[in-house]
Amino acid sequence: MNANLLNRLLCVSLLVCSIGAAGISLGAERPPNVIILFADDLGYGDLGCYGHPTIQTPNLDRMASEGMRFTEFYSAAEVCTPSRAALLTGRYPIRSGMTHDQFRVLRAVSTGHLPLEELTLAEILKTKGYSTGIIGKWHLGVWTNNPAGHPHRHGFDFSFGLPHSNDMNATPLAPKGAGTLAVQKSEWWNAPLFKNDQLLEQPADQSKLTRRYTEEAVGFIKANKEKPFFLYLPHTFPHTPLFASEDFVGKSQRGVYGDVVEELDWSVGRVLDTLRSEGLSENTFVFFSSDNGPWLIMNQQGGSAGLLKEGKGSTWEGGMRVPGIAWWPGRIPAGRIQRTMACTMDLFTTTVALADAALPDDRVIDGRDIRPLLFDTGTVERDAYFFYRGTQLYAARKGNFKAHFKTRAGYNQPKPEEHNPPLLYNLKIDPSETHNISSQHSDVITAIEQSVENHRSTLQPAPSQLVDTITVQK
């Protein structure tokens, strides 16, 4: 080989190396995209990778095998509105007033909303140049009743979906107990579908919601791939009434509930496949979870909490321990099972850190930065975790131990049962909460009670945004 040719090859090699190095540098400088996939009323035991025997969830199972599956991941509340407020603010909903003991969620007639003083994850990410979008169920304000409840007032550039749950605003055509019926009709429910400020349908064709959310999500990803983006995709289902598209009706052995979950799984697959095809998978942090546990009183139209006790509406494990799957090829170790406790509020704090943004210093942030759990074998400092039902603190977890000061079924139990001393369970060996060991661990109870006292000292009264429902309905 002559000297000139050798020099040319050497120059080309150096150029390729320098371009590659520059590409790595540029990629590192650009903050990651973030996608939060949020199911509605999906139980801890409803996915294949969490042990369901018949519901087929190959895409979520693959997401778990390519990423990290949490075994002790919690929502911050046992019902919709407060759970979503906590996810987007990183704060227990008692701090923002997004909870109430009687009216536990915002209704179709509500004028209350997430307070404008609350800083959402979308608002913080916008300061770092992110495009922001919500596609799905909002449930933090009905903007047709009060414009301050619109997602655009809370940091989102783009919105598509329902302002509240799909069972609200039922029509006179709906029979009693319609939500529990295996066969549903869209005309029984007057749910409005919006794109930004435009009303697209009322009632929405709910059989097409999952597919429409998915196509909008794919479009959002493609339209915003040249800059960092935050996509919040809170699905309407499997909250009842249940609707699946034609491609999924009758597909599952688990009936219509299984059909709906399997279509949800398809949606997750479409989102992840889009990230791969657009070359975005290695710079996108994706997390899948649920707003609370399964709605057990819906019978076969409700889900499963697996081995956990109770479901939606309850502070037993089945009401607030939910699936949690993290995915980021090349960053999160594939196939890892994370047995350290984490929660939806942690997604707020962790995402702010990933974006190299600043947390607000004028308020308490309850979420923790869980990057040490996601990327290596580190630990996260957390004194205790608190389980609220409305404004009342029912239980607290410290380490492996959980103390119940009050207990109540999610539904159909008029008054709570108080416990003194509190019930105590070691969740590592008794996740089903069947063996009360309070008599053996008075020292643990004392430590938990001190953590509760410390927590309560940080609370400042916030007027409930849900009580206006009382006024509107009068």
CA 145 → CA 149, 345, 401, distances in Å?
A: 8, 28, 43
Is 150 part of the annotated catalytic residue set? Answer: no
Is 80 part of the annotated catalytic residue set? Answer: yes
**Spatial separation of the C-alpha atoms in residues 201 and 109, rounded to whole Å:** 18
Beta bridge pairs of residue 73:
322, 342
Out of 80, 154, 235, 404, the active site residue is 80
Residue 24 has, within 13 A of its CA and on its CB side, a CA count of 5
Over its C-alpha atoms, the chain yields an Rg (Å, rounded) of 23
Which residue do the tokens 């903007």 mark? Answer: 143
Please write down the HEC assignment for all residues of the chain: CCHHHHHHHHHHHHHHHHHHHHHHHHHHHCCCEEEEEEECCCCCCCCHHHCCCCCCCHHHHHHHHHCEEEEEEECCCCCHHHHHHHHHHCCCHHHHCCCCCCCCCCCCCCCCECCCCCCCHHHHHHCCCCEEEEECCCCCECCCCCHHHCHHHHCCCEEEECCCCCCCCECCCCCCCHHHCCCCCHHHECCCEEECCEEEECCCCHHHHHHHHHHHHHHHHHHCCCCCEEEEEECCCCCCCCCCCCCCCCCCCCHHHHHHHHHHHHHHHHHHHHHHHCCCHHHEEEEEEECCCCCHHHHHHCCCCCCCCCCCCCCCHHHHEEEEEEECCCCCCCCEEECCCEEHHHHHHHHHHHCCCCCCCCCCCCCCCCHHHHHCCCCCCCCCEEEEECCEEEEEEECCEEEEEEECCCCCCCCCEEEEEEEEEECCCCCCCCCCCHHHCHHHHHHHHHHHHHHHCCCCCCCCCCCHHHHHHC
The span from the first CA to the last CA of the chain, in angstroms, equals 92
Out of 100, 113, 139, 154, the active site residue is 139
Please write down the HEC assignment for all residues of 136-176: CCCCCECCCCCHHHCHHHHCCCEEEECCCCCCCCECCCCCC
Among all residues, which ones are annotated catalytic?
80, 139
